[in-house]
Structure 1
Amino acid sequence: MIAETVCSAVSAAGLGIAAVTAWRKRFLTAARIAAYALVPVGLVMTGVVGWLADTAFSPTAWAGFGVLGVAWLLFATTRALERRRGGTRKERKAARAAQREPVAPAASAPALGTAAPAATRPKATPRAGDSTDDFSDIEAILKKHGI
């Protein structure tokens, strides 16, 4: 009973504020305030406020919320551990089997058969100044910035 009275008072106050806002020629804002002010009365009329008041003071309802919280915590923990391990046991077993078996065993052979064997291919020789060139660029940038 007291919850319904409080909701009605809040709605009346909100509608009063909306009327003052409309009197100041701010009709869009007044309409929005009136919409918010009508929500508590609508909740009272549908019975939601009574249900919430009964639920808020019920130890059984709070125990139910606690059970739901524990269930959610267990669910979230198991999902996090599953992701950390890389899936379920079946998924890991299938991934290991897929790693062992090549997808296309003949894919490593040359497609046309005319390619030169690896032994006869010319080997790429690294340039003598590669490593120093990289560092000289970095040193130039650092000197430019005074570091």
Structure 2
Amino acid sequence: MLTAAVSFALTAAGVAVAGLRAYRRRYLSATRWFAVALLPAGLYLTGLFPVARTIGSEIADWATALVFDPRVWTGIALLAVSAGLLATTRWVGRRAVDHAEPGPAATGPAPARPAVPAAPARPPAGKAGKAGKTGKADKPAKAGKRDDGLGGEFADIEEILRRRGI
């Protein structure tokens, strides 16, 4: 009986606050207060308060067993070992894949990337692209240009695109 009285009192208080918010023309806030105000009455009428009490009691029993029962600590240790093994095998698997792929510089250290991108290659004299037709010469790369970290990796592709006028 006390649970019912408290539930409906909380609902009435929430509806009153929602009414004050609506009176002040704060309709969005009033709607939120009204929605929250309906929760205690709804929980009581559906019988979920005893369920919440049971769940709280079970969590308290589990926490007490966690502190004092060595069997629970053994289970936690097993879970930690399992997580550690899974993480280690994943890390080792990724390293094995990285080392298994032979790169172009697999025989020695990686070549250093230039600090400034290389100047664009000029097309052969007989096969001038659009720049040869208009009479404008290709401009060399600006010295102050920011290095995007790609270095000469895309130089071949850029050269092909320039030759085709793209």
TM range (shorter): 0.3 to 0.5
- For normalisation by structure 1, the TM-score amounts to 0.45
Give 1 or 2: higher helix fraction: 1
